[in-house]
């Protein structure tokens, strides 16, 4: 049987909707690189005012420097060490 014939678009859309409800943030806070997270915040997504090279630690524990575009970046971050340009905002 063809995969497309067995694909259930209803359950796919429900799964996407479930994930999106967690993608919206309740709080926004400008990040000072190297500063600790606000009390009670384990991780956050990034909003960048400009494209930048960002030194960060992911929720999975990876420490790396990545080039990210301006705007919303749907990655989960534990800390930000450096931002090469613009302003970084934590969304949590």
Which residue's entry shows tokens 């209803």?
Answer: 10
Residue bearing tokens 């993608």: 23
pTM recorded for the entire structure:
0.69
Question: For residue 90, what are the β-bridge partners?
Answer: 29, 46
pLDDT more than 90, % of the chain = 29
pLDDT digits (tens, 9 = 90+) for 34-48: 887 777 888 888 889
- Which residues on neighbouring strands pair with residue 73, listed in sequence order? 46
Task: Quote the CA–CA distance of 12 and 21 in Å, as a whole number.
Answer: 15
5-40 pLDDT, tens digit per residue, is 555 556 666 666 665 655 667 888 898 988 877 778
Please give the angle made by the CA atoms of 24, 65 and 90, to the nearest 5 degrees. Answer: 25
Q: What is the pLDDT of residue 2?
A: 45
């Amino acid at each position: 049987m063809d995969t497309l014939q067995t694909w259930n678009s209803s359950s796919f859309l429900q799964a996407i909707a479930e994930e999106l409800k967690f993608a919206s943030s309740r709080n926004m806070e400008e990040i000072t690189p190297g500063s600790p997270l606000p009390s009670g915040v384990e991780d956050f997504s990034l909003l960048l005012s400009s494209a930048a090279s960002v030194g960060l630690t992911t929720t999975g524990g990876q420490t790396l420097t990545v080039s990210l575009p301006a705007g919303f970046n749907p990655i989960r971050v534990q800390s930000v060490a450096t931002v090469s340009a613009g302003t970084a905002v934590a969304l949590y």
